[in-house]
């Protein structure tokens, strides 16, 4: 009984690649709506009532993106009204709404990706592909909090020495530039020390081993197989033009045939799979708790 975030990192990465591959390269309104709706649902499942302000930000972004296109693009034959001698068309408005839904939906799924795909999972994936790249990535990820912590120490030390004055912007700018210079010097020295330490410990002189706590299990294989099958059905519908839509010069599009309906349904089911997994885990957990 594992949540989707506890699946093998390779399975998680493949899932998000398949989702974003369809979401970013298919402009059908139904596909965009499915992407946005499922992205919001899964984000709420992951975060609960936390980060509610982010939903407001995405709503404002959606409105701005939807309104921007008809103001700058005047293509289309159905004129709604004229503003500053420029026609605002229905086709441009619908295209703006569709583009906003696609962009915001993709951003939601990227947000879900960063919520699930932690640094150790990325290192697990890149460690298989390129051990040297994995080492560089792990050092970079580790260096970011070190850099931030050292900057705070230097800032506190200089403030204790009276290097800053209250409500003085010029002095603040000079102080920040001085801190940045100190931190860069510290980073270069720390890099030299790290390189010498790695060389002293024999890095690169023998066969490299690695440790990982992730193992590919049966449920990982089942999820991966289902994801690839559904992704194949969605791609087949797009490639065969069973799912097509155009906005200019007039709005025209359809989901034709069994392939189009099956591909659209497959894409929706594919995006709901993590939600289904999370729901199953929570239901089983509550059931086990009720038996205690």
Q: What is the pLDDT of residues 210-222, one digit of tens each?
A: 667 778 888 999 9
What is the span of the domain harbouring residue 158?
131-200
Give 64's pLDDT tier (boundaries 50, 70, 90): very high
Which among 200, 234, 257 is the end of a domain?
A: 200
Residue 189 and residue 140 share a domain: yes
Whole-Å CA distances, 47 to 39, 213, 279:
12, 25, 14
What pLDDT is recorded for position 256? Answer: 79
Residue 216 has a pLDDT of: 83
Q: Between 290 and 60, where is the model more confident?
A: 60
Q: Domain boundary residue among 200, 228, 243? A: 200
Q: Which of 200, 224, 256 is the last residue of a domain?
A: 200
10 with 78, same domain: the answer is yes
First and final C-alpha spacing in the chain: 17
Contacts 24+ apart (CB under 8 A), 187-196: 187/143, 187/147, 190/146, 194/139
Residue 288's pLDDT band (cuts 50, 70, 90)? confident
Q: Does the pLDDT at position 208 exceed 70?
A: no
- Are residue 91 and residue 152 in the same domain, yes or no? no
- What's the structural domain count of the chain? 2
Within this chain, do residues 11 and 85 fall inside the same structural domain, yes or no? Answer: yes
pTM of the model: 0.77
Range 236-245 average pLDDT = 87
Kindly state whether residues 105 and 194 are assigned to the same domain. no
- Residue at 195 is within a domain: yes
Q: Beta strands 243-246 and 86-89: pairing type?
A: unpaired
pLDDT of 170 reads 75
Please check the confidence at residue 18 and state whether its pLDDT lies above 90. yes
Q: Is residue 208 part of a domain?
A: no
What pLDDT score does 60 carry? Answer: 93
189-206 pLDDT, tens digit per residue, is 888 888 888 888 777 777
Are 179 and 228 in the same domain? no
- Looking at the chain, the whole-number percentage of residues with pLDDT higher than 90 is 32
What percent of the chain has pLDDT above 70? 95
One domain, residues 167 and 43 = no
Unique residue bearing structure tokens 């193992």:
215
Angstrom distance (rounded) from CA 16 to CA 25: 14
Per-residue pLDDT band for 167 (boundaries 50, 70, 90) equals low
- Do residue 100 and residue 167 come from a single domain? no
| 116 and 152 fall within a common domain | no
């Amino acid at each position: 009984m594992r949540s989707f975030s506890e699946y093998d990192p390779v399975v998680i990465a493949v899932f998000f690649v398949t989702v974003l591959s369809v979401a970013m390269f298919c402009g059908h309104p139904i596909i965009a709506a499915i992407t946005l709706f499922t992205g919001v649902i899964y984000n709420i499942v992951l975060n609960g009532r936390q980060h509610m302000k982010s939903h407001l930000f995405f709503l404002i972004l959606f409105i701005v993106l939807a309104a921007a296109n008809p103001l700058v693009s005047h293509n289309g034959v159905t004129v709604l009204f004229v503003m500053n001698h420029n026609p605002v068309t229905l086709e441009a408005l619908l295209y703006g709404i569709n583009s906003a839904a696609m962009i915001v939906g993709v951003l939601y799924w990227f947000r879900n990706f960063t919520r699930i795909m932690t640094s150790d999972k990325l290192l697990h994936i890149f460690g298989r592909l390129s051990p040297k790249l994995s080492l560089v990535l792990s050092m970079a990820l580790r260096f970011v909090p070190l850099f931030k912590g050292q900057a705070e120490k230097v800032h506190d030390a200089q403030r204790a020495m009276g290097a800053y004055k209250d409500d003085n912007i010029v002095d603040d700018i000079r102080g920040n530039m001085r801190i940045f210079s100190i931190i860069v010097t510290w980073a270069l020295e720390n890099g030299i020390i790290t390189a010498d330490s790695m060389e002293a410990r024999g890095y690169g002189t023998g066969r490299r081993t690695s440790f990982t706590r992730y193992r590919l299990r049966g449920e990982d294989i089942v999820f991966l197989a289902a994801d690839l099958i559904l992704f194949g059905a969605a791609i087949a519908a797009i490639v065969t033009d069973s799912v097509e839509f155009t906005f200019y010069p007039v709005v025209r599009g359809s989901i034709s045939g069994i392939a189009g309906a099956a591909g659209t349904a497959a894409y929706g089911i594919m995006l709901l799979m993590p939600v289904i997994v999370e729901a199953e885990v929570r239901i089983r957990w509550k059931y086990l708790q009720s038996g205690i």
